[in-house]
Amino acid sequence: MAEEIKLPGSLKTDARIDSWISIEAGGTVSILTGKVEYGQGVMTAVAQVGAEELDVALARIRVKMADTGVTVDEKLTAGSGSIEESGAAIRYAAAAARAILMDKAAAALAVPRDTLVVEDGTVKSPATNRQVTYWDLMGGRTFDAEVTADTKPKSPGDYRIVGHAAPRLDIPAKVFGEPAFIQDMAVTGLLHGRVVRPPSYEAKLRSADLDAARKIAGVVEVVRDGAFLGVIAESEAAAVKARAALAAACRWEEVAKYPNEDSLYDWMTSQECEDRLVEGGIPVDKPIPDIVTPSGAAHTVEAIYARPFQSHASIGPSAGMARWDGDELTVWAHSQGIYPLRAALACAFDCPKEKIRCVHAENAGVYGHNGADDAAMDAAMLARAVPGRTVRVQWMRDDEFKWEPYGSGMVMAAQASLDAAGNIIDWNFDVWSNAHAGRPRAKKETAGFIACWHRENMTPPPRPADNDGKDGGAHRGARPYYDFPKTRIAKHFVKPHPFRVSSLRALGTFGNIFAVESMMDELAIEAGLDLVEFRLRHLKDARARAVLEKVAAMADWNPARWGNGKGQGIAFNRYKNSKCYAAVVFNVEVIEATGAIRTPKAFIAADAGLSINPDGVANQLEGGLIQAASWTLKEAVRFDPVRITSVDWETYPILTFREVPEIETFVFQRETEKAMGVGEATQGPTPAAIANAVYAAIGVRLREIPFTPERVRKMISEARAARR
Amino acid sequence: MSGEFKLAVNGRTHTVKAEADTPLLYVLRNDLGLVSPKYGCGAEQCGACNVLIDGDKAFSCSVSVKDAAGKQITTLEGLGTPEQPHPIQAAFIAEQAAQCGYCTSGLIIATKALLDRNPNPDMEAIRLGLQDNLCRCGAHSRVFRAVRRAARELAR
């Protein structure tokens, strides 16, 4: 029986070399990837991998990203998976391509293959002083071969491009104002679309005077399909005016249905839940045992932590572009999943998916599932009214804040016991949450697009469901990476969903690691132990220990300097318990009178195995830390009983240039270890490190995000009252 | 009311037909093909649409074409080119001071406005100079480095 051959990464989907690499006649090399760029640097990383294996200069590489007409179906660009999936495929495909090129070169030069050397795509025979280029051999032609189990990529010791900082390929266009984003694409005869959404999720349209918008000069069409409303105009300004006019000419009936903002977490924990035990990171249908404090417990600590619903809050609101040519639809989208989007659109329009082409085009960073797919659907809806013409829909700022799917609010309850020596002997962790999944899927009876919920022939949203896979959604990060002798982890999936939710960077990790790493501090303090030493004594993995020790050294970790409003906090996680290791330290200053927390400095130590582009890795880790600090210090989706009230940057403030910390970053380069995704590695430790630093500074424990000045003042006065 | 307006952008004069209250942002992007200023909020809260008007940083989403007419407008395209980059642009590339890059144009314009007034800003002045611009990806520390590098280069 033939041995099963397991090819790495996305080669499992498509092992043909031509699906990943093409040598052009003009001396450039195209790398094809089904992953998409949104500022995380994946374009440059896969280019480095291809250039390395092929032995060509990085400048020769052109990267073609997700396009259902061209690239392999690599599903979503999410979960820190691009390097392991697409990067691995390109590594082996490029190695296989190089082997074929070398065979051809050997034949062309009539010398043995192992006497040849390659320099930037030129194959030379030192013995005969003759040479031939890749483009001579292959330019414009296909390899017609597959990657096989025999394909041998370079050994990491030979790397000259991978593992070294490379400037991002996409940055120059953005620095010189060249067209780089979906909004910048010049299209002949382009029309501008805007949508008019209901003022709240459940609002019913009573009447709409479409003539109010038709009267605006430059308006081409006003579209109404049930309660789906939109305008199409020759100019963007006219579309914006028509949107406002149409919105003012609609009468809606609204209902009060949201929980009380001030008691959100009590509401969440008192709803009907699906309760599951989490074993080895997987939710299972087993009874959840009661918490029984072990007899040998010298100290037992329990605490409840919470995070609110939060927005992706992309700087560029979502946009989509579409054109119908007969029954064929072309859509440009900044979706994280071009193939899944196509499948969902095919269901929404009840047409074969072969009739639809989806092409990725960049917008501002998305950080998960924001309004990208909806804006694409909106464009396709509006474009139906103007066959043969391309319509670009740009969501306005309030469309994005009110309608994008949020990251779910979460409540985490931890209870743990220490023995007399200060070792954790029992660990209990319960998490309550809505879903962290909600992307559009290929279903007929339900739909993941807003437009489908509102149009006349409406399709309802699917019943919310979380990702229940290993370290999947709400329970991602709930399984401690520490070596505890006994753990009991429970996931309580809160069934009523007051808000639209989906994937926000790091999913449950942000709430869970906030709770786990805050609890680690609370336990160490209870036992009177050093916060770093306490973590190390529960951590066997040498790479995990290394990042903790490194970050403490970088930060000049020194409890003697804390107090009087200044403190340091540390926290650690290994993302998904299987990816990048990251430890962070925050230095904070707390002004007790105002409750303001300043974060002048932060430190990161991380280990992502082989870092293909170390500068790109640092950029992702630092960006993740700043974004998570913003979530921690400032962010919560606000609402009243009827409406979302976070509609702009004043009602949903984020961290500004005045407030961000300066950051020092160290990344262990482990060339012989597998490359691991880094984009979500600092989201978890950041909130805990800030909370722990605040405790070090003023002795007040913050367990509810965001740490706004009002909340900090309240916690300070409660702590003072308790001491009296 | 629709009218004709003379706009002086990046040293060239253009005549555009538009409604008088059309935001300058849309005229620059769609009529003149200068796509560097971005729509972000339409409310002077994020700075993605920043341009220079008579040397001052302005929010092109909130300035009408009528009010911009007759003034000197500078967009990112007017600063430099890949062949001849402005020192601020060169500094942003050298420091890799971007992630998604959607806020980059506004930040470079804000940096230009800052350094024109204060060629040697300290950290606090840099933070203040950029406080009207939002970045969601968290490239801030790189942007700080780029501003300091640009200031050094411009002083040479």
Chain B CA closest to residue A39: B100
Please check whether residue B61 is in contact with residue B45, taking contact to mean a CB–CB distance below 8 angstroms. no
Band of pLDDT at residue B2, cut at 50, 70 and 90: confident
Which chain A residues have a beta carbon less than 8 Å from that of B140?
Answer: 626, 657, 660
B74 touches chain A (CB under 8 A): no
pLDDT, tens only, B22-80? 999 999 999 999 999 999 999 999 999 999 999 999 999 999 999 999 999 999 999 99
Chain A CA closest to residue B142: A619
Please check whether residue A24 is in contact with residue A30, taking contact to mean a CB–CB distance below 8 angstroms. yes
Residue A426 has pLDDT above 90, yes or no: yes
pLDDT confidence of residue A3: 44
Mark yes or no for CB contact B138/A626 under 8 Å. Answer: yes
ipTM of the complex: 0.98
Mark yes or no for CB contact B45/A648 under 8 Å. Answer: yes
Residue, of A84 and A417, whose pLDDT is higher: A417
* Shortest alpha-carbon distance between residue B19 and chain A (Å): 9
* Alpha helix stretches (DSSP H) within A602-668: 614-633
Q: Return the structure tokens found at A207.
A: 């009447």
Mark yes or no for CB contact A217/B2 under 8 Å. Answer: yes
Q: Which of A175, A615, A662 sits opposite B141 (nearest CB)?
A: A662
Q: How far apart are CA A299 and CA A295, in angstroms?
A: 11
Mark yes or no for CB contact B23/A317 under 8 Å. Answer: no
> Exposed, middle or buried: residue A256 (CB in 10 Å: 0-12, 13-18, 19+)?
exposed
B148 touches chain A (CB under 8 A): no
Please check whether residue B110 is in contact with residue A628, taking contact to mean a CB–CB distance below 8 angstroms. no
pLDDT, tens only, A450-465? 999 999 999 999 999 9
CA A228 → CA A117, A577, A721, distances in Å?
62, 43, 54
Q: Which of A39, A176, A240 sits opposite B137 (nearest CB)?
A: A39
Which chain B residues have a beta carbon less than 8 Å from that of A240?
Answer: 26
Which chain B residues have a beta carbon less than 8 Å from that of A169?
Answer: none
For CA atoms B51, B54, B56, B60, give the dihedral sign: negative
Q: How far apart are CA B80 and CA A483, in angstroms?
A: 56
Mark yes or no for CB contact A183/B38 under 8 Å. Answer: yes
pLDDT, tens only, A232-289? 999 999 999 999 999 999 999 999 999 999 999 999 999 999 999 999 999 999 999 9
Q: Return the structure tokens found at A369.
A: 């599932």
Q: What is the amino acid identity at position A37?
A: E
pLDDT, tens only, A8-54? 999 999 999 999 999 999 999 999 999 999 888 999 999 999 999 99
pLDDT confidence of residue A2: 40
Chain A CA closest to residue B128: A658
Q: What percent of chain A has pLDDT over 70?
A: 99
Which chain B residues have a beta carbon less than 8 Å from that of A602?
Answer: none
Mark yes or no for CB contact B135/A315 under 8 Å. Answer: yes
Mark yes or no for CB contact A654/B75 under 8 Å. Answer: no
Q: Which of B30, B103, B140 sits opposite A315 (nearest CB)?
A: B103
Q: Which residues pair with A567 in a beta bridge?
A: A588
B103 touches chain A (CB under 8 A): yes
Outline where DSSP puts E strands in A4-143: 21-23, 29-32, 61-64, 117-119, 122-125, 130-133
pLDDT (mean) for A583-601? 98
Which chain B residues have a beta carbon less than 8 Å from that of A317?
Answer: 39-40
Q: How far apart are CA A460 and CA A450, in angstroms?
A: 9
B20 touches chain A (CB under 8 A): no
Band of pLDDT at residue A574, cut at 50, 70 and 90: very high
Q: What is the amino acid identity at position A294?
A: P
* Shortest alpha-carbon distance between residue B88 and chain A (Å): 9
* Shortest alpha-carbon distance between residue A145 and chain B (Å): 36
B19 touches chain A (CB under 8 A): yes
Mean pLDDT is lowest, of A2-11, A422-431, A606-615, B116-125, for: A2-11
Chain B CA closest to residue A172: B93
Please check whether residue A396 is in contact with residue A194, taking contact to mean a CB–CB distance below 8 angstroms. yes
Chain B CA closest to residue A188: B30
B36 touches chain A (CB under 8 A): yes
Mark yes or no for CB contact A181/B29 under 8 Å. Answer: no
Q: Which of B40, B141, B143 sits opposite A316 (nearest CB)?
A: B40
Band of pLDDT at residue A5, cut at 50, 70 and 90: low
pLDDT confidence of residue A118: 97
Q: How far apart are CA A347 and CA A344, in angstroms?
A: 5
How many interchain CB pairs under 8 A, A with B? 172
pLDDT confidence of residue A79: 78
A6-43 burial, b for 16+ CB within 10 Å, e for fewer?
ebbbbbeebbbbbbbbbbeeebbbbbbbbbbbbbbbbb
Query: What's the mean pLDDT when you consider all of chain B?
Result: 97
Residue B18: φ, ψ to 5°: -165, 160
Which helix (H) or strand (E) is A699 found in, with range?
none
pLDDT confidence of residue A4: 54
Which of B141, B142, B147, B148 has the most A C-beta neighbours within 10 Å, making it the best mutation to test the interface with A? B141
B17 touches chain A (CB under 8 A): no
Mark yes or no for CB contact B38/A167 under 8 Å. Answer: no
Could you tell me which of A420, A416, A575 has the C-alpha nearest to residue A487? A416
